[in-house]
Amino acid sequence: MRQCVLAIALVSIGVAALAYGATTREPIYIFGDEAFTPANGVVAGGGTADDPYIIEGWNIEGAGYDYAIHISNTTAHFIIRGCRIRRHPLGTAVRLTAVENGRIENLVITGVKTALQLVAVRNTVITGNVLAYSQYGVVVSIGSADNLVYGNSIIDCQIPARDEGRNNSWYYGGRGNYWSDYRGQDKIGDGIGDTPYRIVLDRYPLLDPPVEVPAESRQ
């Protein structure tokens, strides 16, 4: 299973997604594999490793609910990408609970309480996202294992990350994440910090954001 997740992770994070948040919609809640439906934001896919469900291109903003996207109790393969979530000061942008085989990429999340929360999640990749101006960046809770978080821009979050799980990796292929509070040096000029980021163990913190905050989402 881990090999499958890493194979998916080889997709380049430099490829831009479709326009962030092209269509505004209400929050997405998926409980169980049978709930991956068009009514719940799925635009393509069949739920297999070769043909994952795709949730893409949504804009979800405002207040008054707990989660913008909540996926729970699934084993089907899925990708959430190219979405914009903002202005949820008391809520969580994306929460995964008891989930396997997910991928979150090319999201722009700003101005929320918690950008990404993983609870009892396995074999999931988080890459190429902007998580900014929020209280929490990425929260990996107890019971989560074998997840991969790399190539993200984590900017001005009060608590950038927390990892209470096991065997989760915050870097891949010699590249970690950009942390705006990282104060290490880059003496050889390769764009990677000489010392690890210690809030979570990112051995290869990036000195520059791999993904910029879009102008319309900046504070």
User: pLDDT tens, 49-61?
Assistant: 999 999 999 999 8
pLDDT greater than 90 at residue 94: yes
Q: Is the dihedral of CA 211, 179, 177, 149 positive or negative?
A: negative
User: Does residue 193 or residue 16 have the better pLDDT?
Assistant: 193
pLDDT greater than 60 at residue 195: yes
Alpha carbons 47 and 81: distance in angstroms, whole number: 15
Instruction: Confirm if 127 and 106 have CB atoms less than 8 A apart.
Output: no
pLDDT greater than 90 at residue 209: yes
Please count the other Cβ atoms lying within 10 Å of the Cβ belonging to residue 188. Answer: 8
Rg (CA), the chain: 16
| Tokens, residue 134 | 């929020």
pLDDT greater than 70 at residue 219: no
pLDDT greater than 50 at residue 11: no
pLDDT greater than 80 at residue 2: no
pLDDT greater than 90 at residue 88: no
pLDDT greater than 90 at residue 89: no
What are the beta bridge partners of residue 126? 104, 149
Q: Which strands, in side-by-side order, build the sheet including 42-44?
A: 42-44, 53-56, 78-81, 102-105, 125-127, 148-150
Q: Backbone dihedral region of 6: left (phi > 0), alpha (psi from -120 to 50 degrees) or beta?
A: alpha
Domains of the chain: residue spans and CATH: 2-217 (2.160.20)
pLDDT for position 31 = 98
Instruction: Confirm if 69 and 92 have CB atoms less than 8 A apart.
Output: no
Query: What would the pLDDT profile of 99-149 be if each residue is shown by its tens digit?
Result: 999 999 999 999 999 999 999 999 999 999 999 999 999 999 999 999 999
Give me the mean pLDDT over the 29-49 stretch: 98
- How much is the mean pLDDT over the chain? 90
pLDDT for position 61 = 84
